[in-house]
Every structure is written in structure tokens, then in C-alpha cells.
């Protein structure tokens, strides 16, 4: 296997956190790696003209045309994180191949959503919030609760997170419906999904046409005791509409791992409504889960170096999906 000239290029300290000592050492075995993490300024100063492969993660810079001219030997970028839209276009224009660990980052998001779906179908969130004294034990069973047998779960989006979550949900006796983000690919409408499901879990991609798409009419149509889970993006939700409905419908629950803005502004009712459960954008890869993204990219690099078929390559046609 050829030993390529490699380097880490990134802004900030995420490389050490995502790759860890084990993976950094492994890359030094596989490549002629330079010893530090370089920035876009280093590229512009000509320090990476011999580099053939770049490894990065969150904080990957978007190279200017002048910087790309200082990377005459660059053949591939391995990005140990998810979406690449913010920096990929100059690479594509210069025929540099791009690989991303979006599938690795989808795994913990799907697992997180699965946990909330299970708890939501048992009405755990509302019951737990109201359970403050021993006299209340047992009374929660009288509230609207569906359980895991035969309930309908709507997954909004048909990307990698939704696909993995569908596999996980096959272990349970639930009906899963999928609503793709592109309207022309749908066999069921968003309106029907909200009105007929016990849990609605959002996994829409972060596209401008999805801004504010979840509105008051949809939230108001939700079944008694239904749960809305958002691990997608906060700006996809009309939060004023959501808050209005949640105030009128204490039976509903919203589990929001993302908001817009993030975190919510001081004084937002999202902090105080008892049927809102906030988490600080923790569904994605955390702590040791970060190493999985680096593992995916190192395995992909080994395939690349051996001339084998790629598994995690990003193509221009895949952008914003």
C-alpha cells in the first residue's frame, strides 16, 4: 500500500478530541503525516504543497482559490464528521475526492431518538414531570399512554439517521411511516403524519426550504398524548406556533435537542413549559463516540490507498440531502 503524504488541517482543537491518540498514531503508521495541525493560513503560506491527503473534522476550512493553488498534489480529504456543505465546493471544482463520516454520526442520533420514542410511547415525560409526591404514584397510568405495541411512529426525513432508526425500530412492534423531506418523494403528507402518529421524530436535512415547515396546524392536529422529537434543526420548527399549541395542549410533549436560536433566548417559554424537555444538542457523537467517526475515515483511507471501492464518499449530487 502506497504511503501518501498527509496532514491534519483544521481550525481549533477538535482534531485531538475526535481522532484521539490511538487514531493519530495509526495515521502516522499509514501515512507520511506532518507533525501538527495546520490551518488555512499555513496552506496559503505554502507549507502543504507536497500533501496528498488531508484529515479533518469539525472546523475544516473552506479553501479559497488561492489556497487550492497551494495544494497542487491534494487528492483526497477525509472528514471525520458529518455535513460537508460548508467547504466541499472548492474541492469538487479541483477534482479532489471527499469522504465523510456522516454515517458514523447518524448512529448516536438514531439511538438517542429511539430512547425518546420508547419513553414517549410510555408517556414517561409527562408522568415523570407530574410525579412529585408519593400520593401521585400510580395515577399516571390513567393518562394517555400508548405503549410500544402497534403504535404509529412517523420519521420525518429519509436520510442516514432515519434509515438507521428504521432498522432499530424493527425490534419493536410499532408501525413506522417515513416522510421524505422532498415533497415529490412522499407517499404520505406531513399533515397526515402529524395527525395520525403517536410519536413524530424529525430528521429533515438542514435546507432553506425546510425553514419553519412544522407549524401550528400540524402541532394542533397531534393525537392526545402525542410526542414531537426534534434532533434535526431548530429552524425547521415554527417555535412560536409550537409554544402556543403546547400551552393549549398540556397532554402533548416536545423533546427538543435542537432549537433556534441555540440555546433559546433568555425568557423563552421553552425553558418553563412543563411539557417541553430540552437537551443541549447531545444527540450526535459525544466523548468516545467521536472516535467512531475517525475510525470510519481511517478505514475509508485504507480502502482509498489500496484502490478499493469507497463506502463513504461524498458526491456533488448528495449535497444538502
Residue that has been written with the C-alpha cell 421553552 in this structure: 270
The answer to whether 157 and 202 are in contact (CB under 8 A) is: yes
Identify the three-state secondary structure at position 169: helix
For residues 232 and 311, what is the distance between their CA atoms, to the nearest angstrom? Answer: 24
- Beta-strand relationship, 5-9 and 32-38: parallel
> CB atoms < 10 A from the CB of 115, how many?
14
DSSP assignment of 22-71? HHHHHHHHHSEEEEEEE-HHHHHTTTTTT--EEEE-TT-----HHHHHT-
Q: How far is CA 255 from CA 110, 227, 292, in A?
A: 14, 7, 26
Please state whether the predicted TM-score (pTM) of the whole model is above 0.75.
yes
What residues form DSSP beta bridges with 255?
229, 277
Q: Which one, of 172, 175, 227, 167, lies nearest residue 202 by Cα?
A: 227
Give the model's pLDDT for residue 154. 98
Q: What cell was used for 211?
A: 425553514
Angle at 86 between CA 207 and CA 72, to 5 degrees: 145
Residue 158: phi and psi, rounded to 5, are: -125, 25
**pLDDT per residue over 69-126, tens digit each?**
999 999 999 999 988 989 999 999 999 999 999 999 999 999 999 999 999 999 999 8
**Cell 471525520 maps to which residue?**
80
DSSP 310: P
Whether 297 contacts 99, CB under 8 Å:
yes
Do 83 and 314 touch, CB atoms closer than 8 A? no
Express each pLDDT in 184-232 by its tens digit.
999 999 999 999 999 999 999 888 899 999 999 999 999 999 999 999 9
d(CA 234, CA 206): 9
State the pLDDT at residue 143.
63
The neighbour count for residue 21, using CB atoms within 10 Å, is 8
Query: Mean pLDDT across the chain, nearest whole number?
Result: 94
Statement: residue 320 has pLDDT above 60? no
**Cα–Cα distance for residue pair 11/319, rounded to 1 Å:** 22
Q: For residue 177, what pLDDT is reported?
A: 98
C-alpha closest to that of 137 among 146, 145, 127: 127
Ordered by where they begin, the domains of the chain are 5-100+287-318 (3.40.50.720), 106-278 (3.40.50.720)
Question: Taking Cα atoms as reference points, which of 124, 319, 130 lies closest to residue 229?
Answer: 124
Amino acid at each position: 500500500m502506497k504511503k501518501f503524504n498527509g496532514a491534519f488541517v483544521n481550525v481549533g482543537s477538535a482534531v485531538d478530541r475526535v481522532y484521539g491518540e490511538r487514531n493519530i498514531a495509526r495515521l502516522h503508521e499509514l501515512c507520511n503525516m506532518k507533525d501538527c495541525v495546520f490551518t488555512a493560513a499555513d496552506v496559503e503560506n505554502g507549507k502543504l504543497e507536497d500533501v496528498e491527503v488531508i484529515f479533518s473534522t469539525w472546523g475544516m476550512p473552506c479553501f479559497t482559490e488561492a489556497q487550492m493553488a497551494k495544494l497542487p498534489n491534494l487528492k483526497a480529504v477525509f472528514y471525520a464528521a458529518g455535513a460537508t456543505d460548508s467547504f466541499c465546493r472548492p474541492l469538487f471544482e479541483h477534482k479532489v475526492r471527499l469522504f465523510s463520516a456522516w454515517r458514523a454520526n447518524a448512529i448516536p442520533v438514531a439511538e438517542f431518538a429511539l430512547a425518546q420514542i420508547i419513553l414517549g410511547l410510555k408517556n414517561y415525560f409527562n408522568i415523570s414531570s407530574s410525579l412529585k409526591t408519593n400520593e401521585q404514584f400510580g395515577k399516571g397510568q390513567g393518562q394517555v399512554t400508548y405503549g410500544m405495541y402497534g403504535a404509529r411512529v412517523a420519521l420525518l426525513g429519509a436520510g442516514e439517521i432515519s434509515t438507521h432508526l428504521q432498522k432499530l425500530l424493527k425490534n419493536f412492534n410499532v408501525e413506522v411511516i417515513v416522510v421524505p423531506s422532498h415533497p415529490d418523494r412522499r407517499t404520505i403528507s406531513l399533515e397526515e403524519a402529524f395527525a395520525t402518529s403517536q410519536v413524530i421524530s424529525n430528521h429533515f436535512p438542514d435546507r432553506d426550504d425546510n425553514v419553519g415547515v412544522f407549524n401550528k396546524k400540524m402541532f394542533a392536529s397531534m393525537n392526545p398524548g402525542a410526542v414531537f422529537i426534534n434532533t434535526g434543526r431548530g429552524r425547521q420548527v415554527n417555535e412560536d406556533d409550537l409554544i402556543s399549541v403546547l400551552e393549549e395542549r398540556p397532554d402533548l410533549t416536545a423533546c427538543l435537542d435542537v432549537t433556534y436560536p441555540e440555546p433559546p433566548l433568555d425568557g423563552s417559554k421553552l425553558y418553563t413549559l412543563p411539557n417541553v424537555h430540552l437537551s443541549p444538542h447531545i444527540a450526535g457523537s459525544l466523548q468516545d463516540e467521536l472516535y467512531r467517526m475517525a475510525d470510519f475515515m481511517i478505514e475509508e483511507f485504507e480502502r482509498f490507498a489500496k484502490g478499493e471501492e469507497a463506502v463513504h464518499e461524498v458526491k456533488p449530487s448528495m449535497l444538502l440531502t
